[in-house]
Amino acid sequence: METQCPFCSVQCKMRLTESGSGAGGEAQYAVEAKPNRASEGRLCVKGMNAYQHAVSEDRILYPLVKREGGFERISWEGAIALIVNRFKQIEQESGADAIGVYGGGSLTNETAYLLGKFTRVALRSKHIDYNGRFCMSAAASAGSKALGLDRGLTNPLSDIPLAKCIVLAGTNIAECQPTLMPYFTRAKENGTFIIVIDPRETGTSKLADLHLKVRPGMDASLANGMLRSLLDEGLVDEAFVRARTRGYDELKAHLLEQSVEEIAVMTGVPVDSIRRAASAFGKADTGMVFTARGVEQQTDGYMAVRNLINLVLLTGKIGKPGCGYGAITGQGNGQGGREHGQKADQLPGYRSIENPEHRAYVADVWGVDPNDLPGKGVSAYEMMEKVYEGDIRALLVMGSNPVVSNPNASLVQAAMERLDLLVVADMFMSETARSADLILPVTAYLENEGTLTNLEGRVLLREAHRPAPGEAKNDWRILCELAHGLGRGTYFRYEHAEQIFEELRVASRGGIADYYGITYDRLRREEGVYWPCPDPTEEGIGRMFEASFAHADGRAELIAVDNHWPAELADEEYPIYLTTGRVLSHYLTGVQTRRSHTLASRDFESFVELHPKTAKQHGLTDGKLAVVASRRGEIVVRCRITRTIRDDTIFVPMHWGDSQNVNVLTNQALDPTCRMPGFKVCAVRIRPFISN
């Protein structure tokens, strides 16, 4: 069978051939990488072992209901009836907005679309948001405001080796999207100057000609230093800026007030390095800037990305071969997951739920009165707060593990316990599922047909190849059954994923993320089509903004960005900065990769990475356990002492729950524009763990 890896936005292609049975009788597969245009025939260790979770004996095979503190099997009919009755009762008592829906960026486009429609048409609630709020919201908002639309990369991946200078800001591609690395090594072989911005040395920073080891949370300010240096050196492309952008005069005036020397002190990056980076980027004929969660998961993530897009625009490096901006999406469908309406403020096609014309268009496609569509809800973490406060009494979680992925996770865990009804649709007993009243078993990537949109904006079809084990169902089918139970089945008559996609095409038509020209037939024939693709006879657009930007006036928007400090600063009580991130073997909160025996054995527990100086100051030993504490809680993790990290910063990965859940420590403060939490920096203290 040919399929795609579910574990990141590259969506690498592979062939699986059944090769026997494991010790428990589960299927085993020989895995072979197959070329598609993004992966070029590569797979990383996650992809090679992705099937293992799908055949895991830990799969939940039947609907489960919690009784007397334990879970018992229940029929699908019984589970749906129970959920529907509780939803109806809660709606009667507290109104439709007392029911919330929490989605995920790994769901197919079809399920993401249907989840938004289910919430607004079947539940008639305004409360839907998803874990992509923690992944892409800063870059998505910044791209939309600066360029007029948000598509992860403005160029095809094949443009990367054409860039003469590349800035990799807060992105550890070597561990998160490893099969992209050859694009950058090819660039390097072509003589490209590579600048990495990261507080840590990583597999990615090994490529760097210049590594700016920025203090966590100071990326926006560092970009100001680079922009000021561009001005000083006369490296602004005035012709491009005057012809294709607006807001330059305000930005220039703001930059003239900046001092590179002061920014060097704030960011911990020497003046010479800031100037060298600006000079290299400004003087290169072609160049690209990439951001990822290191820049975006900040309480000023939106502004930090805007400032790095300013760098691209001021130098005229966009809309040409080897030039552009890219947000390296993390989740398997991080791009598509944010386009079809599972965000609190969004309808399909990237339409706004607050825009009357957009509401009317989508309501017409759905066959409902636009006045019946609810308004804008709140962001993912704010939903958790509403649960905690009792405003949301029932929650449906699909394709997500909010107890581990939200900041301030102890509050989120407490919130789950306060719900009158928690329904979790998952393959496994995740940390969130443990708190559920009902668990609904869903299909894995080998069993569920649907489309996903890779980090380039290329839509790909993933076919189903295995029957669902036990009584597991496709997530979109569960939504249809719930909608029928709620008396809204007339709006949810689908027998196949393709029927949902056909409706999605129409719902997205004329919107920013226009899929109208994309069909399953085309996807089978052409192996992927870029959006925007408004017509079935047209090719999608690979390189964006060659002639104009997507704003009504065709211009990109420059913006002046203030220097920001992180929401929480180190002090005497909590003297160290904590930053979080990923490791090669694991995906998201590890619900799936921790069930792959090969991946789990590579990294079977969390750790804290810290500098020898920090270890000495706090009496810590390599390989021994440490307690890391913030104002919100504490965790216990094993020390890895290394000189590859700043001595004022420690790093803990995000893939484990319970006593190793780093999000027990992280700060719930949100970016004011995109509502992204500041995962990447909070103040902590650390001490040796002493067992009783």
* 3 state SS of 254: helix
Question: Residue 584 Cβ, how far from ligand SF4 at the closest point, in Å?
Answer: 9
Q: Which residues are CB-contacts of 542 (< 8 A; sequence separation ≥ 6)?
A: 155, 156, 456, 530
When the beta carbons of 100 and 334 are compared against ligand SF4, the nearer one is: 334
CA distance 139 to 335: 11
Question: Exposed, middle or buried by CB within 10 Å (0-12, 13-18, 19+), for 495?
Answer: exposed
CA distance 428 to 434: 10
Tell which one of 3, 7, 131, 181 touches ligand SF4 (CB under 6 A): 7
CA distance 382 to 481: 28
- Residue 453 makes contact with ligand SF4 by CB under 6 A: no
Q: Edge-to-edge strand order for the sheet containing 165-169?
A: 210-212, 193-197, 165-169, 287-291, 324-327
When the beta carbons of 407 and 450 are compared against ligand SF4, the nearer one is: 450
When the beta carbons of 10 and 98 are compared against ligand SF4, the nearer one is: 10
Question: Residue 43 Cβ, how far from ligand SF4 at the closest point, in Å?
Answer: 4
- Residue 585 makes contact with ligand SF4 by CB under 6 A: no
Number of residues that bind ligand SF4 (CB under 6 A): 14
Question: Residue 553 Cβ, how far from ligand SF4 at the closest point, in Å?
Answer: 38
- Residue 118 makes contact with ligand SF4 by CB under 6 A: no
Question: Residue 44 Cβ, how far from ligand SF4 at the closest point, in Å?
Answer: 3
When the beta carbons of 328 and 422 are compared against ligand SF4, the nearer one is: 328
- Residue 267 makes contact with ligand SF4 by CB under 6 A: no
Binders in 172-191 for ligand SF4, by CB under 6 A? 177-179
When the beta carbons of 592 and 649 are compared against ligand SF4, the nearer one is: 592
When the beta carbons of 43 and 121 are compared against ligand SF4, the nearer one is: 43
When the beta carbons of 38 and 230 are compared against ligand SF4, the nearer one is: 38
Binders in 151-170 for ligand SF4, by CB under 6 A? none
H/E element, 324? strand 324-327
Q: Which residues are CB-contacts of 278 (< 8 A; sequence separation ≥ 6)?
A: 225, 226, 227, 228, 229, 230, 233, 235
- Residue 11 makes contact with ligand SF4 by CB under 6 A: yes
Select the residue whose beta carbon is closest to ligand SF4 and give its number.
47
Binders in 563-582 for ligand SF4, by CB under 6 A? none
Tell which one of 3, 12, 111, 578 touches ligand SF4 (CB under 6 A): 12
When the beta carbons of 313 and 327 are compared against ligand SF4, the nearer one is: 327
Question: Exposed, middle or buried by CB within 10 Å (0-12, 13-18, 19+), for 369?
Answer: exposed
Please count the other Cβ atoms lying within 10 Å of the Cβ belonging to residue 66. 16
Question: Residue 10 Cβ, how far from ligand SF4 at the closest point, in Å?
Answer: 4
When the beta carbons of 10 and 583 are compared against ligand SF4, the nearer one is: 10
Look-up of token digits 């001490």: 687
When the beta carbons of 8 and 436 are compared against ligand SF4, the nearer one is: 8
Question: What mask, x for binding ligand SF4 by CB under 6 A, covers residues 23 to 62?
Answer: ----------------x---xx-xx---------------
Question: Residue 497 Cβ, how far from ligand SF4 at the closest point, in Å?
Answer: 21
**Start-end of H helices in 128-199:** 137-147, 173-176, 181-189
CA distance 204 to 187: 13
When the beta carbons of 293 and 477 are compared against ligand SF4, the nearer one is: 293
Among the residue ranges 4-12, 97-105, 320-328, 422-430, the one whose residues contact ligand SF4 (CB under 6 A): 4-12
Question: Exposed, middle or buried by CB within 10 Å (0-12, 13-18, 19+), for 550?
Answer: middle
* DSSP codes, 364-431: HHHTS-GGGS------HHHHHHHHHHTS--EEEEES--HHHHSSSHHHHHHHHHH-SEEEEEESS--T
Point out which residues pair with 66 in neighbouring strands: 71
When the beta carbons of 104 and 199 are compared against ligand SF4, the nearer one is: 104
Among the residue ranges 9-17, 252-260, 439-447, 631-639, the one whose residues contact ligand SF4 (CB under 6 A): 9-17
Question: Residue 602 Cβ, how far from ligand SF4 at the closest point, in Å?
Answer: 13
Among the residue ranges 7-15, 86-94, 416-424, 625-633, the one whose residues contact ligand SF4 (CB under 6 A): 7-15
* 3 state SS of 440: strand
Of the candidates 48, 55, 335, 324, the one whose C-alpha atom is nearest the C-alpha of residue 178 is: 48
- Residue 10 makes contact with ligand SF4 by CB under 6 A: yes
Question: Residue 33 Cβ, how far from ligand SF4 at the closest point, in Å?
Answer: 8
Binders in 653-682 for ligand SF4, by CB under 6 A? none
Q: What share of the chain is helix, strand, coil (3-state, %, to 5)?
A: 35, 20, 45
Question: Residue 179 Cβ, how far from ligand SF4 at the closest point, in Å?
Answer: 4
The two structure tokens encoding residue 212: 């700016």
* DSSP codes, 14-79: EEEEEEEE-TTS-EEEEEEEE--TTTTT---HHHHTTHHHHT-TT---S-EEEETTEEEE--HHHH
- Residue 5 makes contact with ligand SF4 by CB under 6 A: yes
Residues within the interface to ligand SF4 (CB under 6 A):
5, 7-8, 10-12, 39, 43-44, 46-47, 177-179
